Amino acid sequence: MRFTVFGATGGTGVQVVRRALDAGHEVTAVVRDPAGLPGEVRACADVVQADVMDPGAIEEAVKGRDAVITAIGTRDGRRPTSVCADSTRGIVEAMRAGGTERFVLTSASGLHAGPGDDPLTRFLVKPLVLGPLLKHAFNDMRAAEALTRDSGLAWTIVRPPRLTDGPGNGRYRKAADRNVLGGLSMARSDLATALLDIAGEPSTAGHVISVAG
C-alpha cells in the first residue's frame, strides 16, 4: 500500500513510518523538519517538508495514496491549542482536492467516557480527573474529530489510551464505537501496528475504533 503519514517525527508517527516500511509499504512522511526523522527512516521513506496547515503545500503528498494517517498531537496538553483541528482541516482539504479517500485520525480514549469503560474510569477518572487536567488537548481533539466526521472521506477515528515508549508486545485489543475494557495503556509501537491494520480495513470506515494493549 501507499501511505502518507503526518506527524512522522513524533513518538507515534515515527513508529508508524518504521512499521510500514518494514512491511514493504511505500511511505511518504510529511514533516516540518526532516532532521527530526531518524537517518534510517529518511533513507527509506519519501520525505516531504511542508506546512500541514497549508492544503496546497501537501496536496501532492496525499494524492494517489491508499490511505493517509495523521498522528499529529500537542506536546503540552495543559495549554490552549488548536494543532489537531488545524492540521486535520488542512489534511482534509488537501485530500478532497487530490481525490484521496481513506483517512485515519489518531485521537485519544481519554476524551470519551462511555460503554466499555469500567465504572471507576467512566464516572470518575475520565470526567473528573483527565477531563479537567487535559481539557485544552481534549477540546482540540474533539474539534479534529468533528472535522473528520464531516469530511465526506472514508474516515476512521482511532482512540488509544495512555501511550508508552517501551517495547510493545506485538498485540493489541480493539473495539468499534465503544471503549476497550481495562484499556489503560499501550506501547506506541503497538499503536502504530493498529493504525496500519485499521487503515487497510475498509470495514472500519465511518467508525471510531478504540485500541489498547
pLDDT tens, residue by residue, 196-213: 999 999 999 999 999 999
- Other CB atoms closer than 10 Å to residue 49's CB: what's the count? 13
- 128-162 tens-digit pLDDT: 888 888 889 999 999 999 999 999 999 999 999 99
Instruction: Compute the distance between CA of residue 70 and CA of residue 104 in angstroms, rounded to an integer.
Output: 6
Residue with cell 511542508: 50
Contact between residue 182 and residue 175 where contact means Cβ atoms under 8 Å apart:
no
- Tell me, what's the pLDDT at 98? 95
pLDDT for 77 equals: 63
| Rounded average pLDDT over 117-130 | 85
Global pTM? 0.94
Residue with cell 487503515: 199
pLDDT tens digits for 164-197?
998 888 899 999 999 999 888 999 999 999 999 9
Q: Any idea which fold 2-212 has?
A: Rossmann fold (3.40.50)
| CA distances to 73, 131, 183, 199, 208 from 139, in Å | 12, 9, 21, 25, 17
Spatial CA neighbour of 106 closest among 29, 159, 174 = 159
Please provide the DSSP assignment of 158-195 as one string.
Answer: EE--EEE-S---S--EEEESSPPTT--EEEHHHHHHHH
Residue 33 has what pLDDT?
A: 93
Nearest one of 170, 163, 165, 168 to 197, comparing CA atoms: 170
Q: How confident is the model at residue 78 (pLDDT cuts 50, 70, 90)?
A: confident
